[in-house]
Amino acid sequence: MRALVRSPFVAALAGGAVVAVALLALGVSGADHTTTTVIQQAAMSNGAGGATLALTARDIYDRDAPGVVYVRAGAVAQTTSTLGRQQADPQGATTGTGFVIDDEGHILTNHHVVGDAKTVNVRFGDETTVKARVLGQDETNDLALLKVDPASVALHPLTLGDSSDCRVGDPVIAIGNPLGLDRTLTTGVVSALQRQLRAPNGFTIQHVIQTDTAINPGNSGGPLLDSNGRVIGINSQIATTGSGGGAGIAFAIPINTAKTQLEELKRTGSVRHSYVGITGVTIDERLGSLRLGARRGVLVQAVHPGSPAAAAGLRGGTIESQVDGETLMLRGDVLTSIDGETLRSMEQLTTEVADRQPGAQIKLGVLRAGASMQLTLTLGVAPKQLPDQTAAP
């Protein structure tokens, strides 16, 4: 699959925990407790009707900042993701942000903030630091659910909003711990919707919110808030230029994704995702001269051994070719539809698969050596890590 965030911008995990080493080499230390707050005094517009709300950025900060926490995961094993290697502070810990979601002591953050840690330290606004248990993780969506003893600290749960209500241009606020600076506030707008990002395990995060709100290492896992102070996203990644400079582009996992996973994370500690098991590329104008027999669809590059795609009889390419400097495998199957709906891109296929449960059956329209056919495929359970670290559903 082609890069989801293209040159000259490269997506990087936004936490102090994980960044692309060659692109963003900023150290984050939990030792600096200085509070830096950037506050926009004017009232914010709600975007939906254009009406002015009573809440200012200061109001939202005063109400919600106590529910934002500093997360420090000590002695996290170094792991490599598609976006870089985890970086530790001088004490060997990774750091980031989280936020309280209920009175029971549950806290949401990013998977890449806590890594494989079983317990982490969580520091609240009153400087109280307590141990938190890592209750569950969904690496495919870069989510982690923590649990603290509700009797050990004063909790200030944030209100979870509805990310499906987001519109481009809506004002948003981020509160987090960039570069170790506690509970810093920045403002911006929703810049785009329905982005796709590479998760730490190689799979694709769907329905991502793009914003121009200033996000830096240490913001990872923190809340992206709407003009009513409701959480609509979890800040996760940033885009940087090839020289390492900031691009003013940040990405947040939609809160609706987290809400749909919460009960499974609490119950089982993990989340099952659907899996096909192919590497593919969108057929576009660039590939029009290759005589693939279709002007749109997905060209199957490879079929992962033992995958549902292999069981269904899908075939990958057998001949290597260079197209615009990219190596492609030709003579593979061309996927033209899914459940009767025309298939136009790899991104569409990825989204369709993600919206279905493991065990569900899908019907794929397939073009093979000029002949059309239909194949029925039963979706499997995605492995913990994408087998070949290329984007595939």
What are the structural domains, with CATH classification, of the chain?
A: 15-32+62-158+260-268 (2.40.10.10), 163-258 (2.40.10.10), 274-381 (2.30.42.10)
Whether the CB-CB separation of 146 and 132 falls below 8 Å is answered with yes
Whether the CB-CB separation of 174 and 215 falls below 8 Å is answered with yes
Whether the CB-CB separation of 228 and 214 falls below 8 Å is answered with no
Name 343's Cβ contacts closer than 8 Å, sequence gap at least 6. Answer: 296, 297, 298, 335, 336, 337, 349, 365
Active-site residue, from 106, 111, 112, 304? 112
Whether the CB-CB separation of 286 and 312 falls below 8 Å is answered with no
Is 220 among the catalytic positions? Answer: yes
The candidate with the shortest Cα–Cα distance to 242, out of 1, 10, 45, is 10
pLDDT tens digits along 104-158: 999 999 999 999 888 899 999 888 999 999 999 999 999 999 999 999 999 999 9
Is 142 among the catalytic positions? Answer: yes
Q: Is the pLDDT of residue 1 over 60?
A: no
Is 112 among the catalytic positions? Answer: yes
pLDDT tens digits along 313-344: 999 988 888 877 778 888 889 999 999 999 99
As separate numbers, helices (DSSP H) first and strands (DSSP E) second, the chain gives 5, 28
Active-site residue, from 142, 170, 226, 333? 142
Identity at 40, one-letter amino acid code: Q
Active-site residue, from 81, 163, 191, 220? 220
Greater confidence, 88 or 161? Answer: 161
Q: Is the pLDDT of residue 24 over 70?
A: no
pLDDT tens digits along 37-91: 333 333 455 544 444 456 899 999 999 999 999 999 975 444 433 233 333 454 6
Taking CA 290 as the corner, what is the angle to CA 285 and CA 292, rounded to the nearest 5 degrees? 95
pLDDT at 385: 82
Q: What is the DSSP letter of 160?
A: B
pTM score > 0.85 for this model? no
Instruction: Band the pLDDT of 383: cuts 50, 70, 90.
Output: confident
